[in-house]
Amino acid sequence: ASGGDDGDLYKFLRKHLPYPIPSQILSAAVAGIDEIAQNPYKYPELHSYVNERLDIRATLARRLKKLSPTEFEDLLHPVFQEDEITLIATGGVLGFAAGGLQTKLGWGGPSAVPRAIGTIVFTLVSSMAFYLHQKYEAEQDPPLA
């Protein structure tokens, strides 16, 4: 609703409402909608009415269920993309600590140490390859929006 007389809502209303409606009224309507959107706690009855009439929760649930796994991943990936490196690094550190603890406690017999080292090296190399592949694909694909 923001943007005033230059915003998308104003342009939408101007396009779909008859021209005898003065610009001042459209500007006031846009300002009112912006106020309501910015302060939802001041207008709880309006928000509950809109949510009930539009049935936003059910509509979102229905549309999200229709998405393929790839489309769903594409929808969520930008949310986690910022923290992707942190998640990968944290997983690596925790895996390294768990493997070291298991080796130190002697679980797995005498061949546990070489297998643990091999597993750590394999995990680090495959994680790095996966990350670099994802980064390469992201650079090749144009953004959806």
Mapping DSSP to helix (H, G, I), strand (E, B) and coil, where does residue 44 land?
helix
What is the distance between the alpha carbons of residues 91 and 73, in angstroms, rounded to a whole number? 20
Tens of pLDDT along the chain (145 residues)? 556 667 888 888 888 888 788 888 888 888 888 888 888 889 888 888 888 888 888 988 999 999 998 888 888 888 777 788 888 888 888 988 887 787 777 666 777 778 778 888 888 888 888 888 888 887 776 655 4
**pLDDT of the residue at 6:** 72
8 A C-beta contact, residue 88 and residue 131: yes
| Amino acid identity, position 93 | V
What is the distance between the alpha carbons of residues 12 and 1, in angstroms, rounded to a whole number? 11
**pLDDT of the residue at 96:** 83
8 A C-beta contact, residue 37 and residue 1: yes
- φ/ψ (deg, to 5) at 55: 50, 55
Using only C-alpha atoms, the chain has a radius of gyration, in whole angstroms, of 27
Distance, first Cα to last Cα, the chain: 20
Is-above-0.75 flag for pTM? Answer: no
Nearest residue to 29 (alpha-carbon basis) of 47, 4, 48, 58: 4
Place of tokens 């002697």: 106
**pLDDT of the residue at 92:** 84
**pLDDT of the residue at 81:** 77
- φ/ψ (deg, to 5) at 83: -100, 10
